[in-house]
Chains A and B, each alone.
Chain A
Amino acid sequence: MNAYALLGIKLIGVSFGSMAVGLLFMGLGRKVTARIQRRMGPPFYQSFIDVIKCFTKTSITHNFVMDLGIIMALGGLIATAFFIPFANFSILGSSSVVIVLYLMSIGYLGMAMGVSASGNPNATIGISRALALMMGYEIPFVMVIMAMLITYNSSDLLTYAVAQSNGIGSWHIWKYPLGFIAVEIAFQAMVGEAPYDHMIAPAEIASGPMVELSGKYLGIGFLLHAVQLYVETGLIVNLFLGGASSWYVMLVKMFAVYFTTLSINAVMARYRIEQGIRHLWIWAGSFGLLQLIYTRIWG
């Protein structure tokens, strides 16, 4: 079998694997939230049931742009997942963080395009909030990444992960403490958990972008969130938590990142959109900037 076909099959495996990991996290996350609220909560495999059910339902579409956008969205995020090193192994042999940041955007653009083609103002309002929030969290995140980038003179995630593989003391949390705080705050906004859940505000704008999604479209929407979780937690683990040497350590670390986010989410209310961005700029932004200045001058 030639090498390209083999790589293709492996990549298909990765794409389904990343969906599965994300769905598992979502299910566990619901269980965790339930326990924080003193409930039983659904079984941990609930998200799988939900997604499969969504695919068995009938669905509606408004026009071809909606189909195109939704497919482009999940496609873009899965393509991003290929570039995330998993357990210190990068399947494509390259994992530039700049590609990750920009490839993720195609997922967001696809989602934005698909849902706003439905013609529902709620969806568009949700998207405009999401894009505005993106301006809030992307800047601190990029500043911290640039601090690492000029230290190592490499933008490869794998380089960062390998550099931190000498035990817990070599983790970037200790090397870039301010940056870690900035990224944690930004991460909260990236996955859209409270207090930055403006995009999906069920009581205000009827779940925002998802308002017109039904059946398999909604299923793809859920998978989108799952892959997004995989990509973003994987990114943080590789950047700060020392990567991992085996797959289960990787999964545990990734879930630990998500667990922190969930815990904050369970006890926070929502900011207004303007407050949210301002908060991100002021806190995450200033921590990120301090980290960048420190690294640029003394690092």
Chain B
Amino acid sequence: MTSNMLPFIVIAPVLLGLLMLSMPKRLNWWIFFLLNIVLAGVIFTLKSKGAMSFTFQWTLFGTGKVVQKLGVTPLGWFFLAISSAATLLFSMFSLDFNDKKHSTAIAPLWLMLVGATNGIFLSQDWISFFISWELMSWTSLFIIGHGKTSSFKAGIYYYALSFFGTMAMMAGIWLLFHRTGSWEISSGVLKTAQDLSSHRGFALTVLSLFTVAFLAKSALFPFHMWPQMAHAEAPDDFSAYLSGIMIKYGVYGLLLFIVPVFALTPRGTIKSISGVPWPMYILAVMSALTSVIGTVMAIFTNDMKKLMAWSTVANVGYIGVGLATGTSLGYAAAMFHTVNHMMFKGGIFASLAAVKYRTGEREMHRLGGLAYVMPITFFTFLLGIIAAAGIPPLSGFNSKWMIFQALFEKKMVFVATALFFASTGAFLYLFRGLHTIFLGQLSPRFRNVKEAPPLMSLSMIVLMILMLAAGIFPGLVTGRFNDILVAAGLNPIKTTLYSMTGSTTSINSTLVASVFALAVGVVFFLFVIGGRKRRVKMMDNYTCGEDPLDWNVGPDRYHYGYDFYQPIKGLFSWMPLGVVEKGYNALGRFMERLGNLVTSISADGTRLGWSFVLGVILIIVIGVVK
């Protein structure tokens, strides 16, 4: 019975999603939420049932029998669990978010997407994996589009890049099938690992085809352009899901296929740089580059959702670097950062959605001072950015620390420098978000803004608790990694509930958190014994003796928010940041012209003859070549 649960958690959401297309909107969101509870419950019971699989066979013309297999591996279960937990939280958030005024009709599609996600994490063969992957691409395209022209453009952009990746993956799967004669993922991994020594060119081709697919999905360089459009234009409550879970499919893919291949390859088979096989070193450099680009772009972005989308790009860079180190510490760090990113970026996007829900603004400089009216949202954002900046005692520090330890182990100091740059830069843009949205002057337009509705607040509070828990007790998360690492053929890492051990030192996060609490206590004592304090109005500021209202300067104009880092803009003018985008645009224009050509041949009735002639010539040419 239990193994029948596997197709249920994949197919049930998809079918129900199709069914829901004809139902009223409000009901859809309730079904979505309730089904997510069921799914999360089922997924969390799967773990204790041990290894299981569900096989389904059919015959494909020309290739023989196809075996489709769904199964639970430690890695898959881990991703399944965190994604279902996060989805549950986000669906709770959406329940309040989609009221009459803000409602979107994405619930059925989202439910199908959840099914596709479960499918990706459960697939044991390439056919199921590819079907789920395609389903995921299509549903997310329509969700990002959600009926708005500007959003649909972003969706197309996203889909074009991901389509490119999907095509590469299809070619890779086809090549792999020809080589192994099987659709199974695990046999593909073994064969490719062997091929790396015997048929190196072939193996590298397959690996790079898959890598392109995964990089495109995870928005690593050179595919770092799509999140800023897709995340920004997607429905606000969906952005959290997009950034928290969907950007991790690529990471999962890398962990599923690329990482085990290199782990199974004996050392010395491939030339290595700094103790890392050179393809992985290239991946590390590309990831570090992604981090730097994402950071610099985020610093100068004025749209709050775009800013956080660039921040997502930067964080995926961290994860990529962790993977590329090739050590068990690096893999653990990458997975840990995946979880952390899911929590803190989920929290950040949730709080941004709450802000948008209450104010309807997306440009940061038009906001300000919301901390005083929306404290829970503010604290979620605050803890989110503390985690994102990698400051103890929150979870982000632990995973960043592990990534750096992995780098120090391999002495990849230059990559580490790039990451440190990204990490310091993260401070700049995160603080900018904090100040411009939540601190500073509260505009009179938003004086009557209320805290987010109860369910939204509740899911944000849960996210805060999770971030704190993972920060103070890293073992809660890191303890789960060892069986995944062992399954991938790596050594387990040393970790306890309180501490982690890296290559150069070990760290006790609980100790750090408690001494921080002690120090805050000391300061609080000083604060209490100090003189009496009085609360003044926000506009009662030092203004060289002038009353700002005399100069028609209200809170809106007195809020320093627009073009925040203008003085240092010149420092980055030498960076060719726009090159990739220009390249894509040129490609896009070329494709458009090609499309126009085809349209002009086929659509125009008078040219039908031409297309017939062309077709005949093509057939003759193919025949001659054969």
Residues on A lying within 8 angstroms of B by beta carbon are 8, 11-12, 15-16, 55-65, 67, 70-72, 74-76, 78-79, 82, 92, 94, 96, 98-99, 102-103, 105-106, 108-109, 112-113, 116-122, 124-125, 127-129, 131-132, 134-135, 138-139, 142-143, 146-147, 149-150, 153-156, 206, 211-212, 215-216, 219-220, 223, 272-274, 277-278, 292, 296
Contact = CB atoms under 8 A, between A and B. Distances in A.
B232 interface: no
Given A58-B534, A128-B564, A79 B529 contact: no
A158 to B, nearest CB: 10
A273 B526 CA distance: 34
Interface in B365-421: 369, 371-372, 375, 378, 382, 386, 389-392, 397, 400-401, 404, 408, 411, 413-414, 416-417, 420-421
Interface string B163-188: 00000000000000000000000000
Interface string B414-433: 10110011001101100110
B424 A138 contact: yes
Contacts of B542: 120, 122, 206, 211-212
B579 interface: no
Nearest to A289: B417
B535 interface: yes
A109 B417 contact: no
B568 A11 contact: no
B391 A106 contact: yes
Q: Which of B404, B512, B521 gathers most chain A CB within 10 Å?
A: B512
Contacts, number: 237
Interface stretch (B46-54, B309-317, B333-341, B435-443): B435-443
Interface in B573-626: none
Interface string B292-333: 000000000000000000000000000000000000000000
Interface stretch (B20-28, B115-123, B502-510): B502-510
Given A92-B515, A215-B530, 6 more contacts: A55-B531, A56-B531, A79-B516, A94-B507, A150-B408, A296-B413
Contacts of B411: 150, 296
B390 A139 contact: no
Contacts of A122: 542
A299 B147 CA distance: 60
Contacts of A131: 427-428, 431
B1 to A, nearest CB: 49
Q: Is the interface of B mostly helix, strand, loop or mixed?
A: helix
Contacts of A277: 568, 571
Contact of B531 (A96, A215, A223): A215
B533 interface: yes
B420 A71 contact: no
B535 A146 contact: no
B518 interface: yes
Contact of A119 (B421, B440, B516): B440
Nearest to B411: A150
A99 B522 contact: no
B541 A119 contact: yes
A129 B520 CA distance: 26
A96 B400 CA distance: 14
B507 A75 contact: no
A109 B505 contact: no
A62 B392 contact: no
B345 interface: no
Given A71-B524, A106-B392, A215 B533 contact: yes
Given A15-B519, A120-B541, A143-B417, A99 B512 contact: yes
B536 A149 contact: no
Contacts of B62: none
A106 B544 CA distance: 31
B515 A139 contact: no
B424 A55 contact: no
A143 B544 CA distance: 42
B516 A106 contact: yes
In this complex, the member of A102, A127, A223, A272 whose beta carbon has the largest number of chain B beta carbons within 10 angstroms is A102
B520 to A, nearest CB: 3
A216 B519 contact: no
Contacts of B560: 121, 124-125
B504 A121 contact: no
A43 B372 CA distance: 43
B511 A92 contact: yes
B404 A78 contact: no
B530 A135 contact: no
Contacts of A296: 411, 413
Interface in B516-567: 516, 518-524, 526-527, 529-542, 544, 555, 558-560, 564-565, 567
B434 interface: yes
Contacts of B444: none
A124 B435 contact: yes
A120 B512 CA distance: 33
B519 A79 contact: yes
B371 A98 contact: no
30 contacts: A57-B531, A59-B533, A60-B534, A60-B535, A71-B520, A76-B519, A79-B520, A94-B506, A96-B504, A98-B404, A99-B392, A105-B391, A106-B516, A109-B386, A112-B431, A116-B440, A117-B371, A128-B432, A132-B567, A135-B421, A135-B424, A146-B417, A149-B408, A153-B408, A156-B504, A206-B544, A216-B533, A272-B567, A292-B417, A296-B411
Contacts of B527: 67, 70-71, 216, 220
Given A59-B531, A150-B408, A274-B567, A74 B523 contact: yes
- What 5 pairs across the A-B complex have the smallest Cβ distances? A216-B530, A75-B520, A78-B519, A121-B560, A79-B519
B523 A75 contact: yes
B424 A8 contact: no
Given A75-B516, A105-B391, A212-B541, A149 B530 contact: no
Nearest to B532: A58
A61 B536 contact: yes
A96 B434 contact: no
B392 A12 contact: no
A11 B413 contact: no
A119 B565 contact: no
B64 interface: no
Given A75-B519, A96-B507, A109-B389, A274 B570 contact: yes
Contacts of B372: 63, 65
B535 A63 contact: yes
A176 to B, nearest CB: 14
A201 B606 CA distance: 75
Given A109-B386, A274-B570, A61 B535 contact: yes
Contact of B515 (A79, A116, A127, A149): A79
A132 B565 contact: yes
A103 B392 contact: yes
